[in-house]
Chains A and B, each alone.
Chain A
Amino acid sequence: MSVRIILLHAGVILALFLMQFLASDYVVLTFTRIMVLAVYALGYNILFGYTGLLSLGHAMFFATGLYGAALGVTRFGLGVPEAMLVAIGLGIIVSTVIGAVSLRASGVAFMIVTLMFSQAAFLTVLYFGDYTRGDEGIVISDEFRRFSLFGLEADLANPVLRYNLALAFLALAVAVTLAVIRSRAGHVLVAIRENESRTAMLGYDTARYKLLAFVLSGAFAAFSGASYALMFAYAGSTLASIQYSIHPLLWTLLGGAATVLGPVLGTALMFLLVDFASGFTSASLLVVGVALILLVLFFPKGILGTLRQRYLPWLP
């Protein structure tokens, strides 16, 4: 990996680190949220941008992490670190099962299959409302969010800890994404996106690679969901709805699919855009809708994708 790639990505993380000393509490909170959700988008991008598979159902994996962590600490007496691991583990299991079934379909059928499974998952969350509390949601009180790790006491209600933890998670996610993309497997995923039948005829087990991409993106989603629940003390059914399947697609498209930093940029921009727009309209979904249409019509490669095409061919 070339020096400038490492410098660029490390630079972004460093800039985010420094921002906490310069920005207001509100901005710090907003960016904590952005960073947690950017992990979700990064995972989604591995499947969508690099492998070329458009899932409309990733909210089910996000929700697995979300409710796994929330129920883990409130009902099953797990500590925060254990709940995170359990939630991610559940995410891997669920995405493996769903992936194995869904990937037998392709193209439009795959999109609809993932949409349907996700909708079934959402309805299941509502059906078991006694445990999940439906759209009112589970509020995780502070006592469940304190934990000790390696002898240090920590409280997730502490905004400084939260911000830096979210930043660490984001850095980890970016590093893993870069590693995957530059690996042999990453090249094969791109080959599958470009010409799947050719790739099979070159002797690659395309089914296995697609499942790998699917499970990886599901794990990222569950990781993001678990972090979200524990950091923001809330798990509600809206976070499991179709909207939350569409969001990572939008964030990735905006920032630039098939670029590593694109999803991060897209998540940040959409949040800031919605924040700005809610100054004069309560219809934030309207902004999302318009953004999607404009992107598809005029800007299909997104910001970093277009930049890469015109000026920066080395951008991963």
Chain B
Amino acid sequence: MSLLLETRALSRSFGGLKAVEAVDFSLSRGEVRAVIGPNGAGKTTFVSLISGRIAPSSGSIFFTGEDVTALPAFRRVKRGIAYTFQITSIYANLTAEENVALAAHRPGTHAGRDYLARVGLADRAAQRAGTLSYGHQRLLEVAMGLALRPKLLILDEPTQGLSDSEIESFIGLVRDVARDATVLLIEHNMPVVMTLAHRITVLDRGRILAEGRPEDIRASDAVQRAYLGTG
């Protein structure tokens, strides 16, 4: 399998705080990778660096073999990196359909219908996005991510605030998505992580603590210490 994404010594500091420190990370095409870690581990900062929302202090990022470190966010999106926001960021005053049409770069048309159907929101196409329930807004975010037809889809805590049944359907959706795109998933919900992920990367205090298959990570003492603070 070829390398889709690679970071070399990627770092980002905010003043004195080293949010992400010298991270060497790589992701293969077709993987579903989960990034986990305690609060403040730097997970969102890390994916913000990859998507281009913030600039690194040092280090480099390679996507499909190309150095994208200096590229602004919108160009990375065009290259195939899609990011769904941790705090839902949709167009509240536009309809669900209009939201997805914008993501598909065919605004003002019905181009978004298929993606809405894929996430199960087809019957809410004409509804104002701001009036959707929280769970549905999350799904709309995913639909928009899909409409970008990305090579890499980054999902930042997508199941947060969803009910159990919504989480069930979400797992099915991600499996479906993973057939066409590589998925990078930040999650706190361990059952979701264990079910979906091919491999898991554990971040702690800005550094990679461990990386491996789900069962190896679950068994790792170091990871348990980082999460629970005890032996």
Residues of A within 8 A of B (CB): 182, 184, 187-188, 191, 194-195, 197-206
Q: Min CB distance, A76 to chain B, in Å? A: 43
Q: Give chain B residues whose Cβ lies under 8 Å from the Cβ of A195.
A: 89-92
Cα distance A200–B83 when bound, in Å?
Answer: 11
Q: Give chain A residues whose Cβ lies under 8 Å from the Cβ of B91.
A: 191, 194-195, 198
7 pairs of A and B residues whose beta carbons are closest in the complex: A203-B77, A187-B107, A194-B91, A203-B78, A200-B74, A198-B89, A187-B108
Q: Counting CB contacts under 8 A, is B183 at the interface?
A: no
A203 close to B148 (CB less than 8 A) = yes
Q: Give chain B residues whose Cβ lies under 8 Å from the Cβ of A194.
A: 91-94
Minimum CB distance partner of A205 in chain B? B74
Minimum CB distance partner of B76 in chain A? A203
A203 with B102, Cβ < 8 A, contacts A187-B107, A191-B91, A198-B89 known: no
Q: Give chain A residues whose Cβ lies under 8 Å from the Cβ of B144.
A: 202
Q: Give chain B residues whose Cβ lies under 8 Å from the Cβ of A201.
A: 51, 53, 73-74, 77, 83, 85, 89
5 more CB-based (< 8 A) A-B contacts, given A197-B53, A200-B77: A187-B108, A198-B91, A200-B73, A201-B74, A201-B77
Which one of A182, A198, A203 contacts B105 once the chains associate, using CB atoms below 8 Å? Answer: A203
Q: Give chain B residues whose Cβ lies under 8 Å from the Cβ of A202.
A: 74, 77, 102-103, 105, 144, 148
A197, A199, A202, A206 interface centre (most CB from chain B within 10 Å): A202
Q: Give chain A residues whose Cβ lies under 8 Å from the Cβ of B108.
A: 182, 184, 187
Minimum CB distance partner of B89 in chain A? A198
Which one of A187, A188, A197, A204 contacts B89 once the chains associate, using CB atoms below 8 Å? Answer: A197
Q: Min CB distance, B107 to chain A, in Å? A: 4
Minimum CB distance partner of B91 in chain A? A194
Q: Give chain A residues whose Cβ lies under 8 Å from the Cβ of B106.
A: 184
Interface of B is mostly: loop
Interface residues on B, range: 20 to 34
B74 close to A206 (CB less than 8 A) = yes
Cα distance A194–B98 when bound, in Å?
Answer: 12
Q: Give chain A residues whose Cβ lies under 8 Å from the Cβ of B78.
A: 203
Cα distance A188–B90 when bound, in Å?
Answer: 14
Minimum CB distance partner of A195 in chain B? B91
Q: Min CB distance, A32 to chain B, in Å? A: 36
Q: Min CB distance, B49 to chain A, in Å? A: 14
Q: Give chain A residues whose Cβ lies under 8 Å from the Cβ of B92.
A: 194-195
Q: Min CB distance, A200 to chain B, in Å? A: 5
Q: Min CB distance, A310 to chain B, in Å? A: 16
A184 close to B74 (CB less than 8 A) = no
Q: Min CB distance, B109 to chain A, in Å? A: 9
Q: Give chain B residues whose Cβ lies under 8 Å from the Cβ of A203.
A: 74-75, 77-78, 105, 148
Within 8 A of A (CB), among B183-217: none
Q: Give chain A residues whose Cβ lies under 8 Å from the Cβ of B107.
A: 184, 187-188, 191
Q: Give chain A residues whose Cβ lies under 8 Å from the Cβ of B105.
A: 202-204
Minimum CB distance partner of A187 in chain B? B107
Q: Give chain B residues whose Cβ lies under 8 Å from the Cβ of A182.
A: 108
Minimum CB distance partner of B147 in chain A? A202
Minimum CB distance partner of A204 in chain B? B74
Q: Give chain B residues whose Cβ lies under 8 Å from the Cβ of A198.
A: 85, 89-91
Q: Give chain B residues whose Cβ lies under 8 Å from the Cβ of A187.
A: 102, 107-108
Q: Min CB distance, B3 to chain A, in Å? A: 23
Q: Give chain A residues whose Cβ lies under 8 Å from the Cβ of B103.
A: 202
A188, A191, A203 interface centre (most CB from chain B within 10 Å): A203
Minimum CB distance partner of B78 in chain A? A203
Task: Fill in one digit per residue for B54-82: 1 if any A CB lies within 8 Å of its CB, else 0.
Answer: 00000000000000000011110110000
Q: Min CB distance, A67 to chain B, in Å? A: 38
Q: Give chain A residues whose Cβ lies under 8 Å from the Cβ of B83.
A: 201
Q: Min CB distance, B94 to chain A, in Å? A: 7
Q: Min CB distance, A293 to chain B, in Å? A: 26
Cα distance A205–B103 when bound, in Å?
Answer: 13
